[in-house]
Amino acid sequence: LYFVESGGGLVHTGGSMKLSCVGSERTLRDYAIAWFRRAPGKEREGIACLPLSTRNASYADSVKGRFAVSVDLASHNTIFLQMNNLKPEDTGTYYCARDPTFYHCSFALPDHWGQGTQVTVSS
């Protein structure tokens, strides 16, 4: 299973952006899918996770209340990350991946990464 991220770009502070994460399998079943980001000069951090069995998402404090993760109910193989009220510190490369536990949100780093999509928030 691998993912392709898209939707990144340049946005001003306070703007919004929606990222997409398409899985290579026909359906993502009940996996837990997480979004990570890597800010310049920093380690990758988990910012949002959606276990498809419960759809009870978890968020890092840094994005809580501003970001929302959801699944495309039609395809069930696409995960979205809606980002609102963006800040310059949200700048980074965004990745999605299946949680290493498969079905729960641990925010552990997976072994493999996709290309990611670059998000730049200008001040």
Give the chain's largest Cα–Cα span: 39
| In the chain, % of residues over pLDDT 90 | 87
72-114, pLDDT tens digit by residue?
A: 988 889 999 999 999 999 999 999 999 999 999 999 999 888 8
What are the Cα distances from residue 50, in Å, to 13, 19, 91? Answer: 26, 14, 22
Single-letter amino acid, residue 73? L
Among 24, 64, 47, 25, CA closest to 109: 47
pLDDT of 27 over the 90 cut: no
pLDDT of 38 over the 90 cut: yes
